[in-house]
Amino acid sequence: MGLRMIDSLEVLRADGIGPNQILCTTNESKSMQALFSSWILKPRISPEISWTFLPSSLVRLSVVSCSLSDGSFPEKFSNLPLLEELDLSENRISCLPEWVKSLLQLQSLSVKSLLSSMSHAGEPSPLQDFCVAVDDAKNAVFVNGKFCKDPMQVVADDFFESGLNVPGNTSNPLGSVVTPVNVNQLPGLNTFGVSLVRIDYAPYGLNPPHTHPRGTEVLTVFEGTLYVGFVLSNPGPNMKNKLFTKILHPGDVFVFPIGLIHFQFNVGKTNAVAFAGLSSQNPGTITIANAVFGSDPPISDDVLAKAFQIDKKVVDYLQSQFWWDNNI
C-alpha cells in the first residue's frame, strides 16, 4: 500500500529524503526499483516520480534538506489542496515555484537556509534567459536577490547603462571615487552573477582597504600607475597575514580574491582610471576604517582599544571623525 492510499494522512515529515529516494512501502519498492534506477542515471530529470504517492489529505508537509532544487522540483506538491504548512528549508532553491500560488490553504511557509548546501565559486546559475530585477513588492516573501520583471514587459533599456566614460568626482579626502554598475543600477544583471565598476583616482588618491564579501574582483588599469595589494586571511598562531602587492600600469590586470582586504593607491602625479569586474551582481563593500570606527551605533571604545592595543582616547578621536565613503 502506497502513501497515496492513506487517505487520512495529514502530517508527513520527509526530512532528509533526497529526490533519488523512494517514498513507498516494502511491497512497492521492488516494482519501482527499475524505474528509479533509470531516473538516477539522469539526475537532471524532475524527481516528481519520487513524490508521486503524496495523499491529497496532507495538511502539513516537511521536506527539510531533501536536495530539492529549482530545476528539479516535484510538481505533485501542487496537488495538495488542504496543505496549510510547508517547510522547504535547507534546499537548493533560489526562488519559489509558481505552483505555490495554487496552495490556497497555505498559512505557513518556511524557507530557512535555502541554497546553504550548495558549493559553488560564484552565484547560482540562472534558470531562464534573464530575470530583469524589479523593486521588491510590499509584504512579499523576502528572496535572496531581486524579483523578476514580467518577461513580456522587458525592454532593451533593462540591459543598458551609460556614463562610464564620464570621470568621477575625486574631490574628497580620499581622492578617489567608485562608480558601480551592479543590479541596483542595471536591473538586467539580476541572476547573472557579474557586475562592473569604474574607479577614478586623483594624484595620490586612495581606494582604501576594503573587502567585497560576495565577489572576486578583476581590475585592469586604463590610465596612470597604481600600487595595489591584498592581505591573506589569518594563517595561524604566531604568524602574520601575508601581503601581496604589485605596481600596475595601463593594460595590467590584477585579481583580488573574494572576501580579502585589498586596496589601490595612485602613486603617479596624474589622474588614474581603472575598471573592474566582480563575480556577483551585488558584491557589497566593507570599507575597513568606516566599518570599525564609523559604525552606527559605534563599537565600544573598550573593545576597539583592546583590539588595536591603543588608548581609548585615540579610539574616541577616530570615532569622532567623518569617514568618507567613496562609493557613489
**Known binder of ligand: residue 212?**
yes
Q: Decide: 253 and 244 in contact? Cβ < 8 Å.
A: no
Before 19, cis peptide (omega within 30)?
A: no
Give the number of other CB atoms < 10 A from CB of residue 171. 8
Distance, C-alpha 159 to centroid of its chain:
20
**Known binder of ligand: residue 217?**
yes
Amino acid at 41: L
**Known binder of ligand: residue 20?**
no
**Known binder of ligand: residue 27?**
no
Distance between CA atoms of 58 and 61, rounded to whole angstroms? Answer: 7
**Known binder of ligand: residue 210?**
yes
User: Annotated binding residues for Mn(2+), as ranges?
Assistant: 210, 212, 217, 262
User: Annotated binding residues for oxalate, as ranges?
Assistant: 207, 212, 217
User: Annotated binding residues, as ranges?
Assistant: 207, 210, 212, 217, 262
